[in-house]
Amino acid sequence: MSVPVLSVRNLRVEFPTRRGTLVAVDDVSFDIAAGEVLGVVGESGAGKSMTGTAVIGLLEPPGRIAGGQVLLKGERIDNLPPEKMRRVRGKRIGMVFQDPLTSLNPLYRVGEQLIETIRTHTDASASEARAKAIGLLEAAGIQGASRRIDSYPHEFSGGMRQRVVIALALAAEPELIIADEPTTALDVSIQAQIIELLKRLCRERGAAIMLITHDMGVIAETADRVAVMYAGRIAEIGPVRDVVQRPQHPYTRGLMGSIPKLEAGGARLAQIRGSMPRLTAIPKGCAFNPRCELAVERCRQERPEPVHAGGSDVACWLAGAATAGKAPVEAMNSTPPVVTSDAKGGAA
């Protein structure tokens, strides 16, 4: 088997504070192969963006990687000195942020920013870098790229700015692209265009993509596999079709039940009671147990490790019991319960 583009092994991210150490990412592991899109989904505070930030080496102090490894094509990068990591970032790993204005300097023309990135990471001359920059803008769907290359960021619409950021992320032909909520600030029609652009560029260039989002619709349209995160851990990971159609973890089932379906008519959406726990108050055992309708005593006392169930790897004692041939858990295959709550049912 070929070496995955990105391998994350038992990643742990901590924030030391005066009140103790807060664990934002706890024992997270996954791989992304060349040409594959891994979607990472979950509520606000689940650890999605923190995982991506740790991979690319942009944790803000006092945040730190306290355990585990991050490997890019088999080479460990989480322990690189800042200067070496800066050379990896941009050349081998590209980043697409939610707000394109955080990636683009408003004082410089987009062409100047693209050309600088290309020349920093390659041996291209100024004229070659400009020609490549125009090609990248054209590939990203910017009409009249040879003219628009000399425009400032504020002269582009939100969707066009995001296309420029994608071109910027691809400037040095990276092996991995981390896209953090790349479509959240865009209207639905533009979202579809950006999704299609990411998929096409992934196919054409063989890059691996880590797509971080709260939108299960985006995941279903874009990703090959999906990792569902909760309270800093992966609750379930597997092929997107299996996770969407046959979710195994109660939390994943709750997320799926909160998505409107055309065939459901006016049926009430399922909701997950309560809210994501604070980092200072992660419950004992399974972190989801206070919100889970199926929780048993073991869920409240022992933290489950991932087991293979229904095509996915699931961190749930109920899934473990089912796969171990113990008493069947009929509730796992029942319709998700409708729970009246003020909490939002979808992930954020």
Q: Note the pLDDT tens digit of each residue in 161-208.
A: 988 998 998 888 899 999 998 887 777 777 788 888 888 877 888 889
Task: Please check whether residue 63 is in contact with residue 35, taking contact to mean a CB–CB distance below 8 angstroms.
Answer: no
How confident is the model at residue 324, as a pLDDT? 42
How big, in percent rounded to 5, are the helix, strand and coil portions of the chain?
40, 20, 40
Confidence of residue 341 (pLDDT cuts 50, 70, 90): very low
Chosen domain end from 173, 191, 211? 173
Query: What is the CB neighbour count within 10 angstroms for residue 111?
Result: 20
| Pairing relationship of beta strands 225-230 and 37-41 according to DSSP bridges | parallel
Domain assignment present for 3: no
pLDDT exceeds 50 at position 102: yes
Answer yes or no: pTM beyond 0.95: no
Q: How would residue 9 be classed by pLDDT, with cut points 50, 70 and 90?
A: very high
Residue 49 domain flag: no
pLDDT one-digit tens code per residue, 133-165: 999 999 888 999 999 999 999 999 988 998 899
Last residue of a domain, one of 157, 173, 189: 173
Considering only the C-alpha atoms of the chain, give the largest distance between any 2 of them, rounded to a whole number of Å. 69
Of residues 254 and 257, the one with the higher pLDDT is 254
To the nearest whole number, what is the mean pLDDT of the chain?
86
Residue 104 maps to a domain: yes
Q: Is residue 213 part of a domain?
A: no
Among left, alpha and beta (phi > 0; psi -120 to 50; other), residue 239 is beta
Does 308 reside within a domain?
yes
* CA dist 344 → 8, 227, 258, 259, 295 (Å): 30, 20, 9, 11, 20
Most confident segment among 17-21, 300-304, 333-337: 300-304
Choosing from 173, 197, 215, the residue where a domain stops is 173
Q: What percent of the chain has pLDDT over 90?
A: 59
Distance separating alpha carbons of residues 101 and 156, to the nearest angstrom: 11
- Domain limits for position 254: 247-333
Residue 256 lies in a domain: yes
Q: How many domains does the chain have?
A: 2
